[in-house]
Structure 1
Amino acid sequence: MSHARKEYSDFQALAPDAYEGVIALGGFAARSGIEKPLLELIKLRASQINGCAFCVQYHILQAERLGVPVDKLNLVVVWREVPQFSPRERAALAWTEALTLVTAGVSDEVYDQARAEFSDKELTYLTSAIASINVWNRFGVAYRWSPAARQGQVSAKAS
């Protein structure tokens, strides 16, 4: 079992300027008009790929608060294999995977699929959201941030 090297709150305290910069980058997409439930799905998918337990839990809880159906949350990891996702969600998830696994490149097919569902401006903001969650994942994985407990549950503190 791994233990936290530092916690999310430590990041805020140690580097408030860096913290605010990452918050700002993520906020652009939220204010752009892209659906908040969709943004939570892409953040969840990137966090799954990157193995960030803190961010996976955080975005599941956020998505639940926004009313994202539980079956979507459970199946986002296998979104290609199930019918629960709309063409717009599929395009966003494919774009997320391409940008999160960027060493594989971004194919014309994935780009064309994204452009069919998102305007140029929306795709730019979607890209900023993906960039932001990948930054958060780097911090979460590096410092092994502890996932938050659900409301009403007691979380184990790392010693």
Structure 2
Amino acid sequence: MDDVHYLTTRFDPELAGVSDIFAQLAAAVGYTATLSIDRRLAQLLRLRVAQLNPCSYCLILHTRATADVGVSAAEIAHLPSWRESTMFSEQEQAALAYTEALTVFDQQGVAAAHERMTELFDERGIAEIAAVVINMNLWTRWKLAQGATPVTGLS
């Protein structure tokens, strides 16, 4: 995967003038940020958003980042079918349901998922999880809009 490079096929993202704002948000809740929630959990949620949207750039980046925090290859491969799994903790399952409800925006689903989250996380944890998910949705959609296309074999 180290030989993957990206071509921007639609527009130069710097032209919109929002790159600094996006970078500040990423510093606060992106994959290198320090949060009170577990790094494994945060990274699973980022990868799930990338799968749902589906952003090639983000899928490659966050598959690597998820492995880097100790998530096994089997768990990464199994993430899309987390509902039929015993590989993920009760907290991870609740947060994944919340992630999916926020990403596809199902109003009733968000309410039900939030209710379950209040049983397993404190208010700060829920806020951080929501921020991680919203940030990932922003980035996946930004990369999709600009046409960040992976290619191999470039020098």
Letter of the aligned partner of 2:35 in structure 1? Answer: S
1 CA distance for matches of 2:117 and 2:150?
Answer: 31
Counterpart in 1 of 2:59? 56
The 5-angstrom pairing of residues 80-91 of structure 1 reads 80-91=83-94
In 2, distance between residues paired with 1:76 and 1:69? 11
State the superposition RMSD in angstroms: 2.5
- Secondary structure of the corresponding residue to residue 83 of structure 1: coil
Residue type at the aligned position of 2:107: G
1:76-133, Cα deviation, whole Å (9 max, x unpaired) = 111101111110100110010011011x214343122211221111100110000100
Identity over aligned residues, as a percent? 26
Q: In the alignment, which residue of structure 1 is the partner of 2:147? A: 144
1:4: how far off? 3.6
Q: Does 1:117 align with 2:105?
A: no
Following TM superposition, by how much is the alpha carbon of 1:13 offset from its aligned partner in structure 2, in angstroms? 8.3
Residue-pair matches, total: 146
Could you report, residue by residue, the CA deviation over 1:29-88 in whole angstroms, capped at 9, with x for unpaired residues?
942321111111101111111011110111110011111111110011111011111101
Match of 1:105 in 2: 107
Aligned match of 2:72 in 45, 69, 74? 69
Higher strand share: 2
d(CA) in 2 for partners of 1:119 and 1:139? 30
Whether the 8 Å CA contact 2:49–2:99 is kept in 1: the answer is: yes
Instruction: Point out where structure 2 has 5 or more consecutive residues left out of the alignment.
Output: 1-6
TM-score w.r.t. length of structure 2: 0.82
Q: Are the counterparts in 2 of residues 40 and 59 from structure 1 also a CA contact under 8 Å?
A: yes
